[in-house]
Homo-oligomer: A and B are copies of this chain.
Amino acid sequence: MAELIAKEANKAFSILKTLSGQERSDALVKIHDGLKVNKDSILKANELDMKSASENNLPASLIKRLDLSKVGKFDAMLQGVLDVANLADPVGQCTLARELDEGLKLYRITSPIGVLLIIFESRPEVIANITALAIKSGNCAILKGGKESYETFKVMSDIVNRTLKEETAVPDAAVQLIQSREEVSGLLSQDKYIDLVIPRGSNALVRNIKSNTKIPVLGHADGICSIYVDSEADISKAARILVDSKTNYPAGCNAVEQLLIHEDIVKDSQKIHTLLKSLIDSKVYLHVTREIKDKVADLDQSFISDVEDDSFDKEYLSFDISVASSSSVESAIKHINEHSSKHTDCIVTENKETAEKFLQGIDSAGVYWNCSTRFADGFRYGFGTEVGISTNKIHARGPVGLEGLMSYHYRMIGDGHVVGDYIGGGGQKAFAHKDIEVNHI
**A358-399 with Cβ < 8 A to chain B:** 359-361, 363-372, 374-376, 379-382, 392-395, 397-399
| The residue from B214, B249, B375, B407 contacting A412, defined by CB atoms under 8 A apart | B375
Most buried by B among A210, A368, A412, A418: A412
| The residue from B369, B381, B417 contacting A372, defined by CB atoms under 8 A apart | B417
Task: Say yes or no: A394 contacts B397, CB within 8 Å.
Answer: no
Most buried by B among A113, A243, A357, A410: A410
CB of A39 within 8 A of chain B?
A: no
Given contacts A98-B382, A393-B196, A393-B407, contact A415 B237 (CB under 8 A): yes
**A112-126 with Cβ < 8 A to chain B:** 113-114
**A227-276 with Cβ < 8 A to chain B:** 234, 237, 240-241, 243-245, 248-249
List 10 extra interface pairs beyond A100-B382, A216-B216, A369-B413, CB under 8 A: A14-B333, A100-B375, A240-B416, A241-B417, A371-B414, A372-B414, A379-B424, A381-B410, A382-B431, A393-B407
Shortest distance from the beta carbon of A195 to any chain B beta carbon, whole Å:
4
Task: Say yes or no: A371 contacts B412, CB within 8 Å.
Answer: yes
- The dominant DSSP class at the A interface is mixed
Complex CA–CA separation, A422 to B248 (angstroms): 11
Given contacts A98-B382, A114-B363, contact A248 B395 (CB under 8 A): no
| The residue from B216, B218, B360, B398 contacting A410, defined by CB atoms under 8 A apart | B398
Most buried by B among A106, A113, A365, A371: A371
Q: How many copies does the complex hold?
A: 2
Closest to A367 in B: B411
Task: Say yes or no: B244 contacts A361, CB within 8 Å.
Answer: no
Residues of B within 8 A of A249 (CB): 425
Residues of B within 8 A of A397 (CB): 407-410
Closest to A372 in B: B418
CB of A104 within 8 A of chain B?
A: yes
Task: Say yes or no: A241 contacts B431, CB within 8 Å.
Answer: no
Task: Say yes or no: A363 contacts B17, CB within 8 Å.
Answer: yes
CB of A302 within 8 A of chain B?
A: no
Task: Say yes or no: A412 contacts B366, CB within 8 Å.
Answer: yes
CB of A88 within 8 A of chain B?
A: no
Most buried by B among A18, A240, A379: A18
Complex CA–CA separation, A33 to B394 (angstroms): 33
CB of A72 within 8 A of chain B?
A: no
CB of A190 within 8 A of chain B?
A: no
Residues of B within 8 A of A337 (CB): 14
CB of A186 within 8 A of chain B?
A: no
Task: Say yes or no: B14 contacts A431, CB within 8 Å.
Answer: no
- Binary per-residue interface labels of chain A (192-206) against chain B in the complex, 1 for a CB within 8 Å, 0 otherwise: 000110000000000
Shortest distance from the beta carbon of A435 to any chain B beta carbon, whole Å:
9
Task: Say yes or no: B363 contacts A411, CB within 8 Å.
Answer: no
Complex CA–CA separation, A234 to B415 (angstroms): 10
Given contacts A14-B333, A100-B380, A380-B100, contact A409 B364 (CB under 8 A): yes
Task: Say yes or no: B393 contacts A431, CB within 8 Å.
Answer: no
